């Protein structure tokens, strides 16, 4: 009934109006006297052509009742229509803003939930990657240790290495033997010098000056030779020590 212009619903004990009432685009006069209405639908704001409205003797809430007025004459009923439509339009705008805000809140909540899910997935992927990396490193370390153990076992079973070690021990023993031989030679030389000095002391007479001079000469030469020999022996011993270390 989009062409309807006048509608009288007075004294019908109505408790609500349908949302579809906003489709009455040509409605100009509406009588709702003596019903049980407590509120009006938001679609009431679409009645742009409404010029007359009577809401007396209803159970309206205080806000709508204050806007509707008393409607005891034609002028007040016209004001009632204008004021009520404007009031419902404001309520509809507030409801629309609330709906939009609710939509935005739900959208933000969904975005936050999506971000949280993405972070959780990223964290799980990172942990999984770290676990893979740790396992890979453990396997590589295990392989390296196996190679080391295998190499040591091969070295222990290598006859060439054993022969080399034996040869090294033999060389070490030979060097020690050489050092011992040098020490024995030194001791023999000392013994010979002592014997020679004793012989000269025994055969030379106390008043034989020539013999004493000869003995002193031989003693000095022996001492010099002994010093050179000791110095050479020290150098040989140092060389042997370096070779041994």
Q: What is the pTM assigned to this prediction?
A: 0.49
9-18: average pLDDT:
96
Residue 215: CB atoms within 10 Å: 18
The per-residue pLDDT for 156 is 55
Alpha-carbon 101 to chain mean position: 38
Q: Is the pLDDT of residue 207 over 80?
A: no
The per-residue pLDDT for 30 is 97
Q: Name which of 73-82, 114-123, 168-177 the model is least confident about.
A: 168-177
Residue 55: CB atoms within 10 Å: 25
Q: Is the pLDDT of residue 241 over 90?
A: no
Domain 6-93 = CATH 3.80.10.10: yes
Taking the domains of the chain in order of start, what are their residue ranges?
6-93, 169-244
Q: Is the pLDDT of residue 117 over 80?
A: yes
* SS3 sequence of 193-216: HHHHHHHHHHHCCCCCHHHHHHHH
The rounded distance, in Å, linking the Cα atoms of 222 and 209 is: 20
The rounded distance, in Å, linking the Cα atoms of 38 and 117 is: 46
């Amino acid at each position: 009934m989009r062409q309807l212009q006048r509608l009288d619903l007075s004294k019908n004990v109505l408790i609500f109006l349908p949302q579809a009432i906003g489709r009455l685009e040509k409605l100009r006069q509406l009588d709702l006297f003596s019903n049980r209405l407590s509120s009006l639908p938001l679609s009431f704001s679409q009645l742009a052509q409404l010029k007359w409205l009577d809401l007396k003797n209803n159970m309206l809430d205080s806000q709508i009742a204050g806007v509707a007025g008393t409607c005891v004459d034609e002028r007040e009923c016209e004001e009632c229509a204008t004021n009520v439509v404007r009031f419902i339009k404001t309520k509809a705008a507030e409801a629309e803003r609330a709906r939009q805000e609710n939509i935005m809140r739900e959208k933000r909540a969904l975005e936050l939930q999506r971000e949280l899910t993405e972070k959780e997935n990223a964290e799980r992927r990172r942990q999984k990657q770290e676990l893979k990396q740790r396992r890979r490193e453990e396997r590589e370390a295990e392989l390296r240790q196996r190679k080391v153990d295998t190499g040591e076992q091969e070295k222990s079973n290598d006859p060439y290495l054993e022969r080399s070690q034996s040869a090294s021990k033999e060389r070490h023993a030979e060097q020690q033997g050489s050092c011992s031989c040098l020490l024995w030679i030194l001791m023999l030389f000392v013994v010979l010098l002592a014997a020679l000095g004793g012989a000269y002391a025994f055969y030379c007479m106390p008043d034989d000056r020539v013999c004493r001079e000869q003995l002193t000469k031989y003693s000095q030469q022996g001492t010099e030779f002994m010093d050179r020999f000791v110095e050479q022996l020290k150098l040989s011993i140092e060389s042997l020590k370096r070779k041994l270390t």
